[in-house]
Structure 1
Amino acid sequence: MQILKSIALAVLMLALTIGTQNVSAAPAQWDGGKIRVEGLGIAPADARGSQAEALARRAALSDAYRQLAEQINGVNVDAVNTVENMTLMNTTVRTHVTALIQGAQIIDESARRDGSYVVTMEIPVYGTGSLASTVFTRIETRAPWAAPESVYAPYTPVPYDTTGYGTYERTQNQTSSSPILQAAMAAGSTAAVTVPSAQTAPAITTTPTRPAHPAAVVTTPTAPTTPPAVVTPTAPTTPPAAVAVTPAAPLTPAAPTPTTPPAEIVPKGQAVGGYTGVIIDCTGLGLRPAMSPVIKAENGQPIYGYKNLDVDKVVASGMASYAHSDAEATRAGANPLRLRAVSVDHNANPVLSASDANRLLLENSASGFLDATNVVFLR
């Protein structure tokens, strides 16, 4: 009998382990604004009655807390950072996240007939006492919106702080933006310019000594001057006429080529107005949810990000919502502006064409839907 009990207990433990691993391996699901987990626990074999239930409940709570920590650590803050990265880099964030997990709300709990215990817990991603309140910090001055026409100009990328903690700047590779590397590149370029100048001088000094002799040699071809002069004018007279017609044809297509693109690119500078939000279609581009996404123009310039927004709104409802259809995109309101992303930067930041980026900024200046964070990404 004891052997049968041991076998049954081993099977139950194996099932518990498999179930726990499946839950833990699941990616963080927070599109709906909540991170919810279900902890499962069982009592030791020798426990009985109320003691067994209490021990099973404690095991379920422990399992739920562990799952919450794993889910929260896997949440993408921005294009390069997760919550786990931030907790490793910032002790303040780590302290707040730990307190948040310990204060997680128990949604439901129950004892099962087989002696196991189940606890359902959740943590809000946005709102009061949420994960967002630990991830984002207040910025003193909001950055102004980019000028609509600036999306057509060349842009030099600069580190972008997506949370107020400078996380983007700390984790990005600094090979291109490093002052030391820039100084080395500048020194290398100046050295390269100096070398050819030194080589040119000796070449010039050697040349003038020898041209004196060719001057005497030129006297010899004086006699042949007459024959070529007679033959040359008569033969080339016909070809020049044909040659003049040939360049005339290429000149016509060459002129409109440079003027056509600017005519298509130049913005009209007028907003339609009346839009309640924006829906950016990123389907098929591999977009993944992030707490602090950045909308960029094709030239790499950020046109919508954390630095442009009121942090209270960001903490309350986030910077954008993610949907799979227009029916789910209620955040954009009844009359949304619909745009299509041309690409996705680091699987998190939608990239718009220059014309769409220009239009988005123009319409926001008229309706202010970006200020209200009425942004939806389709994925």
Structure 2
Amino acid sequence: MKKLLLTTMALASLCLSGCVANDKYVQWETEAPEQFPKLTAIGYAPLATQPAKDQSHKVLMAMQASKIAAYRELAEQVYGQQIDAHSQMSDWLINNETVSANVSGMIKGAKVVKSYPAGDMYVTELELDYAQVWNLYQQNNRPRKIKDVTYF
């Protein structure tokens, strides 16, 4: 009798689990944000301290360095900056204190607005339009929300 009861319960649970099948059709709809902000960043690099002999090479190196500095600033705005600090103390005096900053992230869709020398510095201005970021993200990830569910 016990064996028959266990077999019946096993068959009933198997049949019931079959009733929970995905007999539905889901329509998805992508939802855009209400507004797209624009971020700007400026990077600076000194011309005089670039490790090149020719002035034209110094300008090219400073141009690249200022662009990287501007991208770092954009990454700080988008992803934030991680700060690590460490202090050592002995006899109620600080012996050693270190602070480090780290930025990590990928910036897609930024464009160079201006790149120009200003005195002894080279300056690069970047702009990140989140409408462009949204379009790039849509192409790669396709975030969705449920538009309609039809059960059969």
TM (normalized to structure 1)?
Answer: 0.20
More strand by share: 2
More helix by share: 1
Larger Rg: 1
